[in-house]
Structure 1
């Protein structure tokens, strides 16, 4: 039954990604049929994101009251209904109406699943699960393209995704008992931890946490009560936790840089490097391929490396990728392997930036129980998700304003600034949480799933 639950969680992460890129891939056709300007997609995206932020902020209280299984099932159901609503929309205002349940469902399931996996599974699964999100985000546009190429309406693409989401909803409701059984099996009152590991004494725990990278990453504070039914922490209480502000800020800057690269690297290639627009669009896909493949590799490396090492290594590779953008602008006209040298630099840059970004998001989430204690994990992850969406919404448009006034050539410099801010906040997070952990008592260790 444990294996079936893990399969359900993997499928849930794929479903998280399925609808994410649908709007962008279908909007060039949708806006003509709905008779609205091309720019109106921003309004739909903004409304979805605002609702996602709202549900992420409320995720802790909902999770404590209803539990992860119910939250996940009802959130995916809400998302499926919203996607069916999109497929039936014949006006722009109907899209706005269904964008509300779409965003509310997406934020709740994202926070709930990340919280559950951080507590109950190893770093390997966290990275591979986020890899599954990348696969889902790739499959969605492929399904839409398949439908459009065969002469069907964009609404049929949304209908197919809605059917897939409905199938997952059915499986989630069938599996509700498994989520509770998993939590009960990990209950410390029975003398067991996650996945049946025995409770260690304080000395044994400390030894193991210091000598085993995976164990150190997964060590948790003693938590003898179920989170369900407990009072949710206020935002002010969360910010008083040592390192919490820095953790939230790290997420903010990470998602800002990821979204900025995805949104503006194409414009940088076209307007600053004079690369053909169609070719630039295909090159941007390399960034997302790097993220997806990088998370698969991070899942393998997590057996030997701590979350902290994965994050710092990822940041180093990210900076290497950004650095490769600078010579790209100085290599016009030169050839290498039958390609323009600037194109070679761009390809390598996007791949390295994707590989560098890959482990950061899942590793920060997975290290939350270790850094802040299991009892604070639900509260922190909800705020992490909210800050992630706020970062994605706020800082990429700032670069748009800068590019309009000073040119897209600022793109590498802007990426460096965001990267430095993220690195600084993460180093501060490590400093404050390590100081706080020295004062903690009775830590425990969670083995790998």
Structure 2
């Protein structure tokens, strides 16, 4: 008994020596043990609040503020794959595609198992990487007999999209070769500045080419600058200025300056409806008053031949008289998830007084995600300025294409354009053109970013 008491005393003494600090009450110890389960650390609470605010800002379309919030979150939590992914999505909405690619790549590096981040990175490479668009037959419903076109597009820069391409077009009375390059700079989400340079060369030789007009062009360099701005996501205003500097087929030593200004106002009316007003002003040579060195003067007797300058009915020098052509037109359209329709009215649409007015209508049908159809009809009423063979007559262009997304990078299209107008198809005496043109399109998106 004494031994047990002695052992108990030694045990108590040893405990006192080993832990001289006073012990916490049992209630305090239990509360401390439960504290992490009741409330997370303060830093995590703040990070969650910042994330919720960032997500709300992104949904509202305030992408700059959302981006700042996501970056603030990582100052609290450190790098996380999920936050880099959200930053990448926000940068993509701001058209900062190079930054978005870096952010999504970083998200994939931090969490290789995040399939969503990798899929978004692959999708970005496809949508904004180098793209080839090749067409046969033309890219819009015009009166050309045939055309071959190719274009390269690259959109992997921040807010910058580049285009370059070329074409050859058979317009029956002449053919033309064109090369161009342009750049879009998006200074806000959908508003942009566009700069373009185009060089076109006309060719009038060949068995089916009639003699060109005296003031027909040879080479036409053109520069243009366009601004398109959205106000409050409901109204868009656009303004474009073009400067042409052509020389003449019969006088290549003379180069002139033509000017064109185009303006448009577009309004989203709600419910899928959109309305727009378009106006344009062109200053170019007046064929009824312009003289070209060594060519028949306007009003010279039919069949006048000018072997040399100085004859009474032939111009001794080039003298250009300019005219101003003007138009005001309007359009209305409706867009739904699976289809869209639009109609546009344009007087004097070529700005050469050849047409009194034109109506351009279109119908788009998208029955499934990968398949789409496009139908267009252009109706032209020729003016008296087009000459007695055309005055008061009608021209029609029908256009129908189908496009199918064969794979993620490859889309194929095909269709037909049918032209029926009073222009002769060639010079064999046919008075009405009524013929089809086959349309083919290949759109290939590479992953070159």
The TM-score bracket by the shorter chain reads under 0.3
Compute the TM-score of the two structures, normalised by the length of structure 2: 0.19
- Give 1 or 2 for the bigger CA radius of gyration: 2
The two structures have a TM-score, normalised by structure 1, of 0.19
Q: Kindly indicate whether structure 1 or structure 2 has the higher relative contact order, using CA contacts under 8 Å at least 6 residues apart.
A: 1
Structure with higher helix content:
1
